[in-house]
A = this chain, B = another copy of it.
Amino acid sequence: MLPYTTLLQIDKASPQPVYQQIAGQIVQHIRSGVLKPGALLPGTRELASQLSLHRKTIVAAYNELLSQGWLEVTPKKGFNITRDLPELTARSLRPDQSAAYDNRMAVPFYGQKAAMTTKANEPPIRLVVDDGHPDPRLTPLPLLLMREYASRIKHAQRPTIIPGSLTAGTQRLRTTLAGYLQRSRGIQAGAEHLIVTHGAQMSIYLAAKTLLRPGDYAIIGDPIYPVAAQVLENTGARIIRIPVDDHGMDITAIEKACKRYPVKLLYLIPHHHHPTTVTLSPERRLRLLDLCTTYNFAILEDDYDYDYHYNILPHLPLASYRHQGRVIYIGSFSKSLASSVRLGFMVAPADFITQAAQYRRLIDLRNDNILEDALATLITNGDIHRYLKKANKTYSERLNNLDQLLRTHLADRIIYHRPTGGMAAWVRFKPGYDLRQIAQRAAKKGLYISNGKDYNNAGIPFNGLRIGFASLLPEEMNAAIGILSQSI
């Protein structure tokens, strides 16, 4: 007789019912070779007594193993392990060792096989300078959103959602959003021109996958938001990089590229270009709209930062101009509500939205529809509008503070232009000040700053980083810039 009190460890605090624990552990012992094919198990009364359990529990465990084919009944003897389980004798390793996941996938896969990052003995980070995020301590919106969400759950009705009908978002949010975009930025679109996504990144991906195939031509700025560039590269498209100066992308260079290549898509950040924070001038906007008509390419307008402007009016999006079905407009609520809230959208002609929604099903069936409807309520009752007014005031003061700090402590070591909006400043260190080393030294003092490696031109770093000023209180930013200047 095997030592069943040792072999079968019952954990009454476990979420798994006891009879399932017993059955599962017997299977493990069969697989590991402890229980051999044909071996007789103790009777239910006997095992129950050994384990101090009710006999019914053992009967339930054995019945499950019978129904699953692991046990057989031998008349007048009792239960034994099934005899013809294939190749069980070869499985004699201990289950906890042999079944564990490891670091290496046995089957080859694609992409660089990145080493696991080891973070041993890193000093703790106490302060993080991000690349432009709202302050979660400032906004009441996620709390209002969750209250509205909870109230909607409490009054849950009989579900009448037709399967597959939520891929592009709820009808309520799409309709509300269409009105909001009309009122706040002059975009003339209906619910059928809108897809709600899990954030601006998903919108970029869907637009790129719907428009581009390997060998197609796409234009991006240089420098650029690196993850957007990676998406376009991932489609297999050929990427043309156009310099970004103080007024945005160089339109003359774009026109030259269009004359030479059949450009399909241009990716654009019209407000507060990432990383350099410049805004595309109205004159260039008009020229770009002309170019897209002449050369028939689509403009992917990533206006993630429309909501934040300090003492200056935002430009109306290209999507509000006469674009004849060539501008795809992308926005996000992650910047206006909180980075944690993952809700973005895309506006485009209806046939394109239909196709993008079909692709969206492949990567992500849908959003949380209750969250979507809760957001619609916050838009309708003006909560978002009220908060944005307050946030613009606070972030404007925080930008003033950062501006003052940079001028006082770093003026002769950096190149920097005060941004007109958004949540980050673009700061480049002058030659001789190596940002990678500065970031390393800052980390040792408990401050995280970007080392700027994502921002480079053909591998040569711009030696620059975005300093997000929105998410830190003035005293926190004072401390951060203090550590930063000590780290140079």
A54 at the interface (CB under 8 A from B): no
Instruction: Tell me which residues across on chain B come within 8 A of A135, comparing CB atoms.
Output: 159
Given A131-B163, A154-B143, A160-B127: A349 and B283 interface contact (C-beta under 8 Å): no
| Most chain B Cβ neighbours within 10 Å, of A70, A85, A351, A363 | A363
CB distance from A329 to the nearest CB of B (A): 9
CB <8 Å contact, A109 and B355: yes
Instruction: Tell me which residues across on chain B come within 8 A of A109, comparing CB atoms.
Output: 210-211, 298, 352, 355
CB <8 Å contact, B99 and A298: no
A418 at the interface (CB under 8 A from B): no
A186 at the interface (CB under 8 A from B): yes
A45-53, A319-327, A426-434, A455-463: which one contacts chain B?
A: A319-327
CB distance from A469 to the nearest CB of B (A): 13
Interface string of A180-221 (1 = CB under 8 A from B): 100111111110110000110110010000110100000000
CB <8 Å contact, B315 and A68: yes
Interface pairs A-B: 8 shortest CB-CB:
A15-B385, A64-B313, A100-B188, A98-B322, A106-B325, A105-B349, A101-B193, A105-B352
CB <8 Å contact, A85 and B286: yes
CA A17 to CA B390, docked complex, whole Å = 13
A21-29, A252-260, A405-413: which one contacts chain B?
A: A21-29
CB <8 Å contact, A227 and B361: yes
Instruction: Tell me which residues across on chain B come within 8 A of A158, comparing CB atoms.
Output: 127, 137, 472-473, 476
- Can you name 13 A-B residue pairings with CB atoms under 8 Å? A16-B183, A69-B281, A101-B187, A104-B325, A105-B348, A106-B298, A106-B325, A107-B326, A116-B351, A143-B150, A146-B146, A158-B473, A342-B367
Q: A101-B187, A103-B349, A107-B298 are in contact. List 18 more A-B contacts (CB 8 A).
A: A27-B282, A68-B281, A86-B290, A99-B320, A99-B321, A101-B188, A101-B189, A106-B324, A109-B352, A114-B354, A125-B160, A130-B161, A135-B159, A146-B146, A146-B150, A158-B476, A340-B371, A342-B366
A40 at the interface (CB under 8 A from B): no
Interface string of A263-295 (1 = CB under 8 A from B): 011000000000000000111001100100000
The tally of residues in A whose CB lies under 8 Å from a CB in B reads 152
A448 at the interface (CB under 8 A from B): yes
CA A135 to CA B371, docked complex, whole Å = 17
CA A12 to CA B17, docked complex, whole Å = 61
Residues from 97 to 139 in A contacting B, C-beta threshold 8 Å: 98-107, 109-114, 116, 125-128, 130-131, 133, 135-137
Nearest to A146 among chain B residues (CB) is B150
Nearest to A205 among chain B residues (CB) is B363
Instruction: Tell me which residues across on chain B come within 8 A of A340, comparing CB atoms.
Output: 368-371
